[in-house]
Structure 1
Amino acid sequence: MPSPSRNWWLLAIVLPLLFLFVMYGLFNRSFGDFFAVMGLAFLFGVPFGMGALVIYLSPREKVESRTYRMLMPWVPILFFFVVTLLFAWEGWACWLMALPLFMIAASAGGSVAGYYKRRNDKKRERIYVSVLALLPLVISPVEQLIGKIPGQYKAYTYIDIHASKENIWKNVTRVGAIAATQDKGWFTRMLGFPRPIKAELNYEGVGAYRKAIFDKGLIFDEKVTAYNHQRSMSFTIHADPYNIPSTTMDEHVVIGGEYFDVLNGTYELEPLSNGNYRLHLYSHFKLHTTFNFYASWWASWIMKDIQNNILQVIRQRAESGLPENRI
């Protein structure tokens, strides 16, 4: 048999990796009232315990290196993410957002476990690592009892346009077919979000119905709630998650779903000097998680990327003088 000392790395990777899969199964498949993937107990507590386990299973001479304690726990995480993506257990967008939390937590767990390992107290080290690894199972039911925290947030964007207000406004109210080459939403495209296709409006005024159509079957139903011709337009936004194909978006980030929803949007046209106009676009969205402080950063980035994409299309068409139904 090969010497265990030569294969320590196998132990320090495989067992923590198995730990991740077991915890993922518990949090994602069973006991829904007590455990949830979309919670701090899983997103921070599980990688924290896994990081501690990696260092516990590593040789003491390796643990003496601070770099090792910080970076070695990332290895099982990367294997875990690759496997779950290959088998389509989770979407790319969800894991990309979770990755920073996982890496920070794993490094923190490795650092704590390293502190006890370097003290050469094997009995205490074993107890502390066991507690750290199992702590998410205790924290998660408490977190679920406290409940998800609803919060509303605002995403604000603007663009300056050198065109007449007539040209700008007709491209605001109705956005004609957007070619793939005009899509500049690099961030949402990287996450696999649907790209905008067009927006239709039945008439200009309060009560009008507006439909924003994206590819992959995503449609926002919008109703105009305030209208000031060539100055401002506000509208509610509704996306029915049950009408969105399951392959369109990850269930944890689907718009209109359990965790993330867009409420309303507003265009405002402000005159500047030298025949320029500033077109403001802002929206309000809500989150329903136990870690809104972190999720709101990602959601705001997504919303701003979508809005900036639309604004640059409007500017291009308004300044070129093309009607709203031309590419």
Structure 2
Amino acid sequence: MPSRTPQPLIVAIPLAFVFVMYAIFNDGISALFSVMGLAFIFGIPFGVGALTIYLSPRDKVESRSYRIMMPWVPVGIFFIFTLLFAMEGWACWLMILPLFLIAASAGGAMAGRLKLRDKNKQERRYVSLIVLLPFVISPIEQMIAKIPGQYKAYTYIDIHASKENIWKNVTRVGEIAATQDKGWFTRMLGFPRPIKAELNYEGVGAYRKAIFDKGLVFDEKVTAYNHQRSMSFTIHADPYNIPSTTMDEHVVIGGEYFDVLDGTYELEPLSNGNYRLHLYSHFKLHTTFNFYASWWASWIMKDIQNNILQVIRQRAESGLPKDRI
């Protein structure tokens, strides 16, 4: 009976379940299963939560906080283990963790409700259906296919400097010291930090390279140019030229799920010798949960853009040449 399950097995069995499901969904062989799908991101932790509470003693399950929090234990152990053994990257897990915890708690709440209300002891049948549900949902989800979506990340900064000083730091960004890097969010996620940007000439058709550390390079081509007013460019990152240690394969820029398309700088005159420098980009996602992934992707892009903008402001307002700071 579930109420007599040894205490260690209350965690061990759900933990074994999530590892087995991870192996199945992450094998890269079957097109029917993928870790980058709602069946895994929501369905698996939901099953973990249901199993954990099903195996727990009834007197424990009577506590609402236990039903909500106890499923987090096997989920937490799973995350720590996969990080320690480099099975998944920190950035990917950090983004997925909130959904995992919510789903695990939801599964625990449902299993607890069944356990406390089901006098005929049918909760075993219901929990079995719950843990097997991802095998049904995932093939349907993959057949429906991933949903392409295009999004915009918009940022700006006000600068007190001449438009000449601002613009020369827009077109070409000299080497950025680590102390100037203010992109705390992307740095926390382990994303490469910006180093410099090179431009061969100013005008339509020019080539620009935005160079980051860890071997990440964006190849950019200027598609529209209005001197000291605006510059638009396409952005291309070849995922095959990015070292595998640079970014998690599920969030690599230019990869299967996430890509940056273009960027635009616009310089707007304000009053009292101030200018507003706008920077926006378009990026695309190709997942079955764009509604969630777009929030994280937008945050990442805005952090990168704000980081560049603050460097441009610092250099333009100092009046020093772009390659002297």
With structure 2 as the length reference, what TM-score do the two structures score? 0.98
Residue in structure 2 matched with residue 66 of structure 1 by the alignment: 64
Q: Which moved more, 1:122-131 or 1:288-297?
A: 122-131
Residue in structure 1 matched with residue 286 of structure 2 by the alignment: 288
Residue in structure 1 matched with residue 178 of structure 2 by the alignment: 180
Describe the superposition over 1:167-213 as per-residue Cα deviations: whole angstroms up to 9, x where unpaired: 00000000000000000000000000000000000000000000000
Partner of 2:135, secondary structure, is helix
1:8 touches 1:59 (CA, 8 Å); kept in 2? Answer: no
1:11 to partner: Cα distance: 1.4
Partner of 1:29, secondary structure, is coil
Whole-angstrom distance in 2 between the partners of 1:172 and 1:247: 30
Give, as a single letter, the amino acid of the residue that structure 2 aligns with 1:225: T
Whole-angstrom distance in 1 between the partners of 2:120 and 2:141: 32
Residue in structure 2 matched with residue 245 of structure 1 by the alignment: 243
Whole-angstrom distance in 1 between the partners of 2:78 and 2:118: 30
2:5 touches 2:55 (CA, 8 Å); kept in 1? Answer: no
1:29 to partner: Cα distance: 0.8
1:150 touches 1:289 (CA, 8 Å); kept in 2? Answer: yes
Residue in structure 1 matched with residue 83 of structure 2 by the alignment: 85
Whole-angstrom distance in 2 between the partners of 1:114 and 1:64: 8
Q: Which moved more, 1:24-33 or 1:183-192?
A: 24-33
For residue 151 of structure 1, the aligned residue among 132, 149, 152 is: 149
Give, as a single letter, the amino acid of the residue that structure 2 aligns with 1:263: L
Describe the superposition over 1:244-298 as per-residue Cα deviations: whole angstroms up to 9, x where unpaired: 0000000000000000000000000000011000000000000000000000000
Give, as a single letter, the amino acid of the residue that structure 1 aligns with 2:278: H
Whole-angstrom distance in 2 between the partners of 1:150 and 1:32: 21
Partner of 1:216, secondary structure, is coil
1:120 to partner: Cα distance: 4.0
Partner of 1:254, secondary structure, is coil
Partner of 1:220, secondary structure, is strand
Give, as a single letter, the amino acid of the residue that structure 2 aligns with 1:306: I
Residue in structure 2 matched with residue 203 of structure 1 by the alignment: 201
1:9 to partner: Cα distance: 3.0
Residue in structure 2 matched with residue 104 of structure 1 by the alignment: 102
Residue in structure 1 matched with residue 137 of structure 2 by the alignment: 139
Cα RMSD of the aligned pairs, angstroms, is: 1.2
2:52 aligned with 1:54: yes
Partner of 2:36, secondary structure, is coil
Q: Specify whether residues 122 and 35 from structure 1 end up closer, same or farther in structure 2 by C-alpha distance, changes over 3 A only.
A: farther
Aligned-pair identity (%): 82
Give, as a single letter, the amino acid of the residue that structure 1 aligns with 2:289: F
Whole-angstrom distance in 1 between the partners of 2:150 and 2:31: 25
Give, as a single letter, the amino acid of the residue that structure 2 aligns with 1:85: L
**Runs of at least 4 residues off by over 6 Å:** 4-7
Residue in structure 2 matched with residue 314 of structure 1 by the alignment: 312
Aligned residues: 324
Whole-angstrom distance in 2 between the partners of 1:177 and 1:64: 60
Residue in structure 2 matched with residue 15 of structure 1 by the alignment: 13
Whole-angstrom distance in 2 between the partners of 1:237 and 1:17: 42
Partner of 1:127, secondary structure, is helix
Q: Specify whether residues 75 and 147 from structure 1 end up closer, same or farther in structure 2 by C-alpha distance, changes over 3 A only.
A: same
Partner of 1:118, secondary structure, is helix
Give, as a single letter, the amino acid of the residue that structure 1 aligns with 2:86: A
1:326 to partner: Cα distance: 1.7
Describe the superposition over 1:289-318 as per-residue Cα deviations: whole angstroms up to 9, x where unpaired: 000000000000000000000000000000
Give, as a single letter, the amino acid of the residue that structure 1 aligns with 2:81: V
Describe the superposition over 1:229-256 as per-residue Cα deviations: whole angstroms up to 9, x where unpaired: 0000000000000000000000000000
**Any unmatched runs of 5+ in structure 1?**
none
For residue 116 of structure 1, the aligned residue among 114, 118, 140 is: 114
For residue 42 of structure 1, the aligned residue among 36, 40, 46 is: 40
Whole-angstrom distance in 2 between the partners of 1:5 and 1:290: 38
Whole-angstrom distance in 2 between the partners of 1:297 and 1:93: 14
Whole-angstrom distance in 2 between the partners of 1:326 and 1:111: 59
1:5 to partner: Cα distance: 7.2
Instruction: Show the 5 A alignment for 1:124-135.
Output: 124-135=122-133
Whole-angstrom distance in 1 between the partners of 2:128 and 2:120: 12
Give, as a single letter, the amino acid of the residue that structure 1 aligns with 2:217: I
1:219 to partner: Cα distance: 0.1
Whole-angstrom distance in 2 between the partners of 1:94 and 1:36: 14
**Any unmatched runs of 5+ in structure 2?**
none
Give, as a single letter, the amino acid of the residue that structure 2 aligns with 1:11: L
